[in-house]
Structure 1
Amino acid sequence: MSGRAGGLLRESLHRRRGEFLRLTGWSLVQAVPAALSGWMVARAVDDGFLADRTGKGLAWLVALAGAVMVGAWATRRVTLGLSAVVEPLRDELVTLVTSGTLNRSAQAGRPVDTGGVARLTEHVEIAREAYGAVVMFVQGFVVTAAGVLLGLAALDPALLVFVLPPLVLGLALFAGALRAMAGRQRDVVLADERIAESTSAVTGGLRDVAACGAEDLVQRRAGERIDAAAKATRALARMTAVRTVSLGIGGWLPLVLILAGAPWLVQRGVSAGAVLGAVTYVSRGLQPALQGLVQVLGGSGLWLLVTLSRIAEAAERTTPDTTGTADAPRGHPGTVPPGGFGGVELRGVTFGYARSAEPVVDGLDLVLRPGEHLAVVGPSGAGKSTLASLVAGVLEPQAGRIRLDGVPVRALGTGTPTRHRVLIPQEAYVFDGTLWENLTYLAPDATAAQVDAAVDAVGARPLVARLGGYDVPADPRELSAGERQLVALVRSYLPPARLVLLDEATCHLDPASEARAEEAFARRPGTLLVCAHRISSALRADRVLVLDGTGTALGTHEELLAGSALYRDLVGHWEVTEPSRAAGSPSAAQSPPTAQRPPTAQRPPDPNVTASRTPGRS
């Protein structure tokens, strides 16, 4: 960590040696009061007040006030000169962050991670402020300590015996603990980042968390990260005790030793003015400078090391190794749905996003048999995702009822929610953790054989091989949209849900991969509802529900081709815009050959499957 941060700082200082030297020159002028204060006080006491020359004593004090004014003027110049050193570093860090982020995005072929950019730019601002504080206080301490030690030697070299050893000991103790303190500070920063990342992921997936009934699991994992952050903060707080001890040894012990040794010093010939001057040097010069150094290095300095290290790590991060194979036993996931078979019933369901707006779903009646495979199609904005959310229980209808195996779907949030239903959205989410943790998120007790069988069924084996196995980190920033969907599909395939809802959950997959995933869920026990992204999804379904906003149509592919003008238009649109659809897909003008349709698609219409307006507009 310190190597990366030190390299960035050394490069920055090397490029601006002239500005840094000018800043050092003004810092020497700034240290004039500290260097002269003790000596002037000694002269005012010995040559003035104790020699019954009050005017001369006052003159020395006036001269000290003038030195303070010079120091104040130099402080202003130091503050102005500091920007010439600090601001260029900020510009370099911003360039480093943006270049690294854009390069990673270009290599991976994905949009820029705006959340990561925001966190890194926040690090840049922290580094900028911390760097300015560190430069000012470290340089100020060096010149002040040098002036104080020279002033003490000018008064009487014996005074150095009371000041120099404890100062060196205090600095050595603090420097020895600085690396450990930096490690504790890094733990705090990483813990805060993990909380921010998990919070962002949960916020973007609240619908899916609620649909899958994973509230308790999400709460527990978020609590674990919060506890880890609290633990890291407490560990850092304990290390701050070292700062207090270092300051006590280096700043306060010399003062105590001078006062305790004053009789011996006077007996040895050291004047009272010199003793008082030494007290002034320590209390008004060395002690404040040391306190500022310890506080800044123990606070801003640690933040500077950690943030520069994080920025350097982000800039150096490359795409993951694409070699390696998975090695896990094969088996079959236990996906027999307990307590029911997935029958769905909607009666008079109406829903709108505002009471004054036109309902998205209006008076819908729909009955799906257990094990039924339904595809929902319609133009954008027709209500496909809304219907999926209603059936999953994420949204509550304004009128009507929705039941799963005779139980109101919104009453299924207790017990083991993933026994009931799983909703997979279009934008699948992957959290930071191993691939195994991501795949078993909804089935933590799944065996290796079950996970392996689910991976093979859905078609995610190439992804597992590319990442190098189940135990490697699954960084969501390093996965494509299609790969994230494969992870979500396997994750949802594992738990024994009676109802699975795919809300365009395969839209980022190629047609062949989409077909494999959908067919895997169709073979799986339970009911399947697919918001179709391609016409091939409708061809694989037992029934197709057409949503139009103002009406619905329900039937087989052949029935809808004959009776729904909208469905014919949709099929024609799909065939024009997606010429590379799955091989063997029929044209809109003819029914598909039997060999290209799953056997279940050849059954006659089911009278228990109805809609509010069937089949549609001819």
Structure 2
Amino acid sequence: MSSRIRRVGPGWRLLGRQLVVTRGALGWLAVWSGVEALPPLLSGLFVSAAVDEGFLAGRPGVGVAWLGGFGAVTAVRAYASRAGFPYLAGVVEPLRDALVERVVRSALARQSADPAEVARLTEQVESARQLTATLLRTLRGVGVTLAAALVGLGLLAPVVLPLVLLPLLAAGVLFARLLRPMVARRRAVVLVEERLAAEAGRALEGLRDVQATGAGEQVAASLAAAADASAAASRALGRASALRALVVALGGRLPVLAVLAAAPWLLAHGALTPGELLGVSTYLLQQLDPAVRTLAGTVGGWLLNLAVVLDRLAVTTAPPPTRPDGPPARTPSHGPSHGGTRGEIRLQALRYAHGPAAAPVLEGLDAAVRPGEHVAVVGPSGAGKSTLAALLAGVLAPTAGTVTVDGAPPAGPHQVALLPQEAYVFPGSVRENLCWPSPGIPDARLHAAVAQLGAQPLVARLGGLAGTLRDPGELSAGERQLLALVRTYLSPAPVVVLDEATCHLDAAAEERVERAFAARPGTLVVIAHRISSALRADRVLLVDGGRGVLARHGDLQVLSPLYRELVGHWLGSAPVGAAPRGTAGLAPRSR
């Protein structure tokens, strides 16, 4: 038994654990599926009775009545099919939510997470949801049809059961033997397609560098090799899948031929009546054969895809092994209460490039941010400001050089809280959104943070902390940003990085938010969206040409013509006769 359990793939174990959680919905789905089994179960019996007791007996009214009864049972099946859909959703939607949570937790737990990989995993979660829903919806119809047809055959004409069961069992054994190699070949197809997509993406990102270095032929050869491998894997899968036609022939067609060949003898010896023969034909042609074709064809393909997708999700998002001799995990506090010496950032000879052949976005960047300091990062478009933010949070790993926070590499969201432009808000209560991923924050702290960041009107409109967000898409981009800002403010991380996280707020709301974060214990790094953000900061990090200069706003205006140009551009874009909001009379806060 233990060896059999070990042979079960990690994806099926992952699915099994989630189905246990939704066993209530699965139970009701099985109940309605049983109701759906009535027409397949009764079809041959009703047809046999209509022929033998009605039409052949000279009583056409009785025959029509039997057929009418079959029509009534079919209507019941239609109702049962409709009634089962809410329970189908009760199985599939929690599965999707659990897989998304697993992907997010896995990304947060790693010191370096590739955004493209996270996006692919999210797409695979949606594929798993759709495949599971389609399989359950199809299997509840096809599976009950097949079982009901066999039960009906046993009730109507037990003499034909050996003619049906023997080839059906042979088809089942063959299909089971084919599943393992087909899953392996389908997995190979997925892996080579991911490799092809990754290499194509890297080639497109570094296209200018490829052209400049004359590496076009080498890159093209690499992509061609990946494409050839993808085609070879697809052909291998096609050859294995073609054998499913033999399953259909054995399980669906051979029973029909066997019964037709034996029919003259069965009728002549009174083993079957004409009506029973028609009933048996109904079971075989209308129920058994279509069910076998669907199971071996469509369901077989979906099952392969689901097995591969679940395995990829289970393996890729598996929690990292814990080291017994490692340091104990730090228990996060609820709120920004940090020691006064936490939050020091050091960048030493920092280099980052999107690919081996790509020009570096950052090259030799050195900077030191003091604990508790408020720094604004500015620079022309494409200078690498968002890349720097991702490096500070540990989302990207440096190509060379080091990024340290309090003397160690960034170690997840409890050390550096990164908030990008596109705020993440999920369906659930307002409290759940504000407390994620650190549940248990007292309501008093939540209300205080909401007030400090000016989110009280929004939270009140949503129904307070207990209000429910059914569709985050109904919120504006600024409202989503405001909720995410409150969540980040409550983070236990000693370092907060706001990557243009206030770009959808007006200038007054942005000023209030930044002042609240500046007063929050810890270090604040703001990727500046307006000149006012730079003016409010203790120091400004100017990024250009891969390098950086860290100085006070006034000193940078003297030291850097580029910074003077940026400031002039910002001021020039303000309304005529008006200074940018929040710039008049401001000075960096004292320490």
Q: TM-score, normalised by structure 1?
A: 0.53
Cα offsets for 1:556-582 (capped at 9, x unmatched): xxxxxxxxxx999469x9xxxxxxxxx
Cα offsets for 1:439-497 (capped at 9, x unmatched): xxxxxxxxxxxxxxxxxxxxxxxxxxxxxxxxxxxxx9985332699xxxxxxxxxxxx
Q: Indicate the residue corresponding to 1:339 in structure 2.
A: none
Aligned ranges 1:125-524 → 2 under 5 Å: 125-269=126-270, 270-316=272-318, 318=320, 424-426=359-361, 479-482=397-400
| Structure label with greater radius of gyration | 1
Q: Indicate the residue corresponding to 1:4 in structure 2.
A: 10
Kept in 2: contact 1:16–1:85 (CA 8 A): yes
Kept in 2: contact 1:255–1:283 (CA 8 A): yes
Cα offsets for 1:495-541 (capped at 9, x unmatched): xxxxxxxxxxxxxxxxxxxxxxxxxxxxxxxxxxx978479xxxxxx
Cα offsets for 1:153-207 (capped at 9, x unmatched): 1112111011111111111111110111111111111111111111111111112
Q: Indicate the residue corresponding to 1:82 in structure 2.
A: 88
Q: Does 1:43 align with 2:46?
A: no
Kept in 1: contact 2:29–2:88 (CA 8 A): yes
Unaligned ranges ≥5, structure 1: 322-421, 429-475, 486-529, 536-565, 574-618
Cα distance in 1 between the residues matched to 2:116 and 2:251: 44
CA spacing shift, 1:480–1:316, aligned 2, 3 Å: farther
Aligned ranges 1:549-588 → 2 under 5 Å: 569=559
In structure 2, the residue corresponding to 1:316 is in which secondary structure? coil
Q: CA deviation at 1:264?
A: 1.5
Kept in 2: contact 1:212–1:423 (CA 8 A): no
Q: Does 1:117 align with 2:140?
A: no
Kept in 2: contact 1:2–1:305 (CA 8 A): no
Cα distance in 2 between the residues matched to 1:191 and 1:89: 27
CA spacing shift, 1:80–1:570, aligned 2, 3 Å: closer
Cα distance in 2 between the residues matched to 1:319 and 1:222: 34
Kept in 2: contact 1:40–1:60 (CA 8 A): yes
In structure 2, the residue corresponding to 1:95 is in which secondary structure? helix
Cα distance in 2 between the residues matched to 1:532 and 1:238: 52
CA spacing shift, 1:320–1:150, aligned 2, 3 Å: closer
Q: Report the identity percentage.
A: 39
Kept in 2: contact 1:31–1:71 (CA 8 A): yes
Kept in 2: contact 1:97–1:120 (CA 8 A): yes
Q: Indicate the residue corresponding to 1:431 in structure 2.
A: none
Q: Does 1:91 align with 2:92?
A: no
TM-align CA RMSD: 3.1
Q: Indicate the residue corresponding to 2:66 in structure 1.
A: 60
Aligned length: 348
Kept in 1: contact 2:362–2:547 (CA 8 A): no
Cα distance in 1 between the residues matched to 2:175 and 2:251: 10
Q: CA deviation at 1:317?
A: 6.2
Q: CA deviation at 1:297?
A: 3.1
Cα distance in 2 between the residues matched to 1:139 and 1:238: 29
Kept in 2: contact 1:133–1:296 (CA 8 A): no
Q: TM-score, normalised by structure 2?
A: 0.55
CA spacing shift, 1:139–1:172, aligned 2, 3 Å: farther
Q: Indicate the residue corresponding to 2:353 in structure 1.
A: none
Cα distance in 1 between the residues matched to 2:181 and 2:303: 13
Cα distance in 1 between the residues matched to 2:547 and 2:396: 25
In structure 1, the residue corresponding to 2:9 is in which secondary structure? helix
Cα distance in 2 between the residues matched to 1:312 and 1:242: 29
Q: CA deviation at 1:278?
A: 0.6
Cα offsets for 1:231-289 (capped at 9, x unmatched): 11111111221221101110111111111110121123111111111110011111222
Q: Indicate the residue corresponding to 1:23 in structure 2.
A: 29
- Name the aligned partner's letter for residue 360 of structure 2: P
- Name the aligned partner's letter for residue 90 of structure 1: R
Cα distance in 1 between the residues matched to 2:166 and 2:395: 53
Kept in 1: contact 2:362–2:545 (CA 8 A): no
Q: Indicate the residue corresponding to 1:447 in structure 2.
A: none
Kept in 1: contact 2:45–2:156 (CA 8 A): yes
Cα offsets for 1:582-606 (capped at 9, x unmatched): xxxxxxxxxxxxxxxxxxxxxxxxx
- Name the aligned partner's letter for residue 201 of structure 1: R
CA spacing shift, 1:25–1:210, aligned 2, 3 Å: same
Q: CA deviation at 1:19?
A: 1.0
Cα distance in 2 between the residues matched to 1:532 and 1:158: 83
